[in-house]
Amino acid sequence: MKLFQGLGSAPDTIKNWAFGALVLFYFERVLGLPATLCAFALFIALCFDAVTDPVVGSLSDNWRSARLGRRHPFMYAAPVPLAVCFVCLFSPPDGLGQAGLFLWLVLFAVLIRGFMTLFLIPWTALMAEFSQDYVERTTIVSYRFLIGWTVGVSTAVLSYTFIFHATPEFANGLFNRAGYPRFALWAAAAICVGALVSTHFTRGEIPFLPAPPKQRMPFSFQNVFREVKLAFTNRPFRLVFFAVLCSSAIAGIQVALELYVNTYFWGLLPEQLRWFGPFMWIGAVVAFVLVQPISRKFDKKAIVIFVSALLILDGMVLISLRLLDLMPANGDPLLLYLLIGNAVFRVAIGVVSLIVGASMVADILDQQELETGERQEGMFFSALAFSGKAISGLGILVSGLALDLLAIPRTAALEEVDPGIILRLGAFVGLVLPTLYLLPLWIISKYPLTRRVHAEIRAALNAR
């Protein structure tokens, strides 16, 4: 069960890698759409996605189906149209012009995110329903992240090796337009298969999952608003919500600029970027091995605070050393080794933080049930997705404005780019952005659900 539930992370992992690494670069660098317009299009799609999340969460919390339960009908409906829209996104017709490209990007980014929500919110809600145990929930989430990282690493390695490789015409294969439709075809197939396999092979758990409310409420936006309001009466949930809100805004900028930093600040080519994936997967495996014994020994809040503080410091180190002229020059093999080693460390501690953070939300659901008599798995996870997507969309918009202000030439040749532009890009990503993570770190320090408190909550629920 854990394996097949974890396999459901594959579709969102592939989609996130494509949107984080390729979409902005493809439409801005390759097709010539201004970065501000690209970022605004993605911002629109994320805002739409954020609004649909609570709707799907409410629908799946209250759905009734004797054969498929309340989550699986949505999970079956999404994969095929999702895959079709993914192919279309990377295959715009020639001659659209800037307005046409903008509308094309908006349309298919909205559809992709909408169909992904239809699968992802019910799938995520299942994670909290499969177990009531404080530690076991962390184990279930760890499978999700291990499989997700394995798929993400494989996507990056295969893409950089077989699709965006160097050619006589393109020394940097990321500038080759022909590669993007090929990438979309096999990625869409993997998204569709992963979603359907996870959905089909978790059907056996349906009889053992919590049932929807006995009296089904007809869908209305008024009920959605009521359920959102009820969720926000929970103080631990509010703290997690606003911590995700802040960190997503910062992460949205970082993700959008990551490929630009690797290409222009560190001077890396796709043939070098592909090596990050396998080694970063090692970091994910390390996290998978360590997270359960760590969670048995320490409270979840303490783990998240410690590893988040490490990530803030680590985010500044390498770029600070380069700004101080203490790093190997671009092109030096030692530079690649250092960057890969640092990436392994960041992934290991970052995945621990993500696994434990997701497990914390499942614990909050128990407190919500004790206080209100209602379980709101779909609404809780959709509200968190709302905060993450809407604000990360704002971060992407900011990154688009920053790219247009920096005015980086559309070229793969670093000698054609003003060194001052590259310096400002590195300082912004490596010094300013990590410092901003202090705010969500302070917010999560107020989280009150310790292991002892959660044990008392479970005892009270069991007695009830």
> Which pLDDT tens digit goes with each residue over 98-148?
999 999 999 999 999 899 989 988 888 776 666 666 566 667 767 777 788
pLDDT tens per residue across span 336-358: 999 999 989 988 888 888 778 77
Supply 293's token pair. 């014994």
pLDDT at 89: 97
User: Which of residues 448 and 68 earns the better pLDDT score?
Assistant: 448
Residue type, 239: L
| Residue 42 token pair | 């993605």
Q: Indicate the domain borders of the chain.
A: 2-209+226-463
d(CA 407, CA 435): 25
Instruction: Give Cα separations from 89 to 107, 113, 114, 158, 409 (angstroms).
Output: 9, 12, 14, 20, 25
Q: How far apart are CA 332 and CA 268, in angstroms?
A: 11
Go through the chain and tell me how many residues it has: 464
- Nearest by Cα to 12 from 381, 434, 435: 381
- What pLDDT is recorded for position 377? 66
Q: pLDDT per residue over 351-385, tens digit each?
A: 888 778 777 877 888 888 888 877 666 666 666 66
Of residues 400 and 240, more confidently modeled: 240
Enter the DSSP assignment of 187: H
3-class secondary structure, 344:
helix
CA distance 257 to 435: 16
Separation of alpha carbons 464 and 452, rounded Å: 19
What's 2-209+226-463's CATH class?
A: mainly alpha
- Residue 373 burial by Cβ neighbours in a 10 Å radius (0-12, 13-18, 19+): exposed
**Cα 441 to Cα 215, 240, 435, distances in angstroms:** 40, 10, 11
In tens, the pLDDT along 325-337 reads: 899 998 899 999 9
Q: Decide: residue 163, CB within 10 A, 0-12 exposed, 13-18 middle, 19+ buried.
A: buried
Can you give the pTM of this predicted structure?
A: 0.68
Return the closest-CA partner of residue 319 out of 408, 258, 398.
258
